[in-house]
C-alpha cells in the first residue's frame, strides 16, 4: 500500500472494461492533441473527479511520434464544458523561407499573436495580427523600393499598399486583411460577420501570393534569357 498524503482512491477511476469511457458520454472527447497539434482520437486512461464541478480526464495521444499524456479539464455546471488542456505547448506557425527572409519581424509578431490566441486572449490577438501584417507589407515594399525606406515606414498601411504593391492578387488580399485588421483595433466593427479566422485567412493568402512573387522573382533573376 502506497502512502500518500492525500487519498485519491475515491476520486480517481481508471478507464477499463468495467468502467468504459462510454460511461462518461457527457465529456466531449478532445479531437486534437495539445502537444503535437495533430487531429486525434485520444486513448482515455483515467478520470479524476477533482471537485464537484471539475473533472479531469487523462488522455494519451495515439500518434507514435508523439505519445504524450495530457489532461482535458471539464467544468460540470449546468452542462459539461471542455475548459482547457494541460500541459499546453504553444505552436509556432511556419512560414516559407522567402517570407522570413524579407520580414523576420512579421514571423515573430505573428507568432506572438498566435500564442496569445492559444492562451485564449482572443480579444487582443487580432491587434497583433494586424501589426504583423503591417511589417510584412512594408518590408516587402521596402525590399522593392530601397530609396523610399523612411517614407514607407511612416506611411499609413493602406496607402502603402496602394502605392507600392502592383500585383492585383496581393493588393486585393492585403487590402481586405487591413480592413479586418483595423476592425480589431477599433471600438466599432465595420465587418461584423467576419472574425479573427477571416483575418488569418487573408493574411495567409497575402503570404501565399507574396511568396509566389518572391520565388518567381528569384528564378527570373537567377536565370536570365
Ligand atoms: Zn500528440
pLDDT-based confidence at residue 36 (cuts at 50, 70, 90): confident
**Residue 219 in this model has a pLDDT that exceeds 90:** yes
HSE-CB for 35 with a 13 A CA cutoff: 17
pLDDT score for 93 = 86
Place of cell 491587434: 127
Average pLDDT, the chain: 91
Instruction: Answer whether the bond into residue 87 is a cis peptide, omega within 30°.
Output: yes
d(CA 32, CA 89): 12
pLDDT-based confidence at residue 1 (cuts at 50, 70, 90): low
Least-confidence region, from 9-18, 174-183, 187-196, 216-225:
187-196
pLDDT-based confidence at residue 190 (cuts at 50, 70, 90): confident
DSSP 146: G
In angstroms, what is the span from residue 100 Cα to ligand 1's centroid?
Answer: 27
pLDDT-based confidence at residue 185 (cuts at 50, 70, 90): confident
pLDDT score for 200 = 94
**Residue 2 in this model has a pLDDT that exceeds 80:** no
DSSP 119: T
In angstroms, what is the span from residue 53 Cα to ligand 1's centroid?
Answer: 27
In angstroms, what is the span from residue 60 Cα to ligand 1's centroid?
Answer: 8
Share of the chain above pLDDT 70, in %: 98
Least-confidence region, from 40-49, 131-140, 187-196:
187-196
In angstroms, what is the span from residue 184 Cα to ligand 1's centroid?
Answer: 32
d(CA 70, CA 85): 7
Task: Find out whether 42 and 33 touch, Cβ atoms under 8 Å.
Answer: yes
Angle between helices 157-164 and 125-144 (to 10 degrees): 30
E strand map for 43-199 = 43-49, 54-60, 69-76, 80-86
Q: What is the mean pLDDT of residues 39-54?
A: 94
Least-confidence region, from 169-173, 188-192, 206-210:
188-192
Place of cell 499609413: 156
d(CA 136, CA 98): 12
Determine how β-strand 54-60 pairs with β-strand 43-49.
antiparallel
Q: Which of 133, 88, 90, 87 is nearest to 110 (CA)?
A: 133
pLDDT score for 50 = 92
22-35 tens-digit pLDDT: 999 888 899 989 88
Q: Which of 115, 113, 109 is nearest to 135 (CA)?
A: 109
In angstroms, what is the span from residue 114 Cα to ligand 1's centroid?
Answer: 19
In angstroms, what is the span from residue 95 Cα to ligand 1's centroid?
Answer: 22
pLDDT score for 9 = 85
Give just the sign of the alpha carbon dihedral 126, 130, 131, 132.
Answer: positive
116-164 tens-digit pLDDT: 988 888 889 999 999 999 999 999 999 999 999 999 999 999 999 999 9
Residues less than 5 Å from ion ligand 1, measured at CB: 33, 35-36, 61, 63, 66
In angstroms, what is the span from residue 32 Cα to ligand 1's centroid?
Answer: 8
Amino acid at each position: 500500500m502506497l502512502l500518500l498524503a492525500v487519498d485519491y482512491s475515491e476520486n480517481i477511476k481508471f478507464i477499463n472494461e468495467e468502467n468504459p469511457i462510454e460511461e462518461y458520454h457527457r465529456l466531449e472527447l478532445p479531437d486534437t492533441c495539445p502537444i503535437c497539434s495533430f487531429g486525434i482520437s485520444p486513448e482515455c486512461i483515467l478520470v479524476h473527479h477533482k471537485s464537484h464541478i471539475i473533472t479531469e480526464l487523462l488522455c494519451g495521444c495515439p500518434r507514435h511520434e508523439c505519445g504524450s499524456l495530457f489532461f482535458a479539464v471539464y467544468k460540470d455546471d449546468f452542462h459539461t464544458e471542455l475548459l482547457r488542456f494541460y500541459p499546453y505547448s504553444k505552436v509556432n506557425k511556419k512560414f516559407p523561407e522567402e517570407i522570413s527572409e524579407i520580414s523576420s519581424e512579421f514571423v515573430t509578431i505573428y507568432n506572438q499573436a498566435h500564442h496569445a490566441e492559444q492562451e485564449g486572449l482572443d480579444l487582443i490577438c487580432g491587434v497583433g495580427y494586424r501589426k504583423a501584417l503591417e511589417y510584412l507589407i512594408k518590408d516587402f515594399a521596402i525590399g522593392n523600393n530601397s530609396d523610399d525606406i523612411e517614407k514607407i515606414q511612416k506611411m499609413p498601411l493602406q496607402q502603402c499598399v496602394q502605392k507600392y504593391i502592383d500585383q492585383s492578387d496581393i493588393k486585393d488580399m492585403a487590402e481586405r486583411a487591413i480592413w479586418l485588421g483595423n476592425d480589431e483595433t477599433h471600438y466599432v466593427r465595420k465587418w461584423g460577420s467576419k472574425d479573427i479566422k477571416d483575418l488569418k485567412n487573408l493574411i495567409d493568402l497575402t503570404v501565399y501570393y507574396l511568396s509566389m512573387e518572391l520565388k518567381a522573382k528569384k528564378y527570373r533573376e537567377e536565370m536570365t534569357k
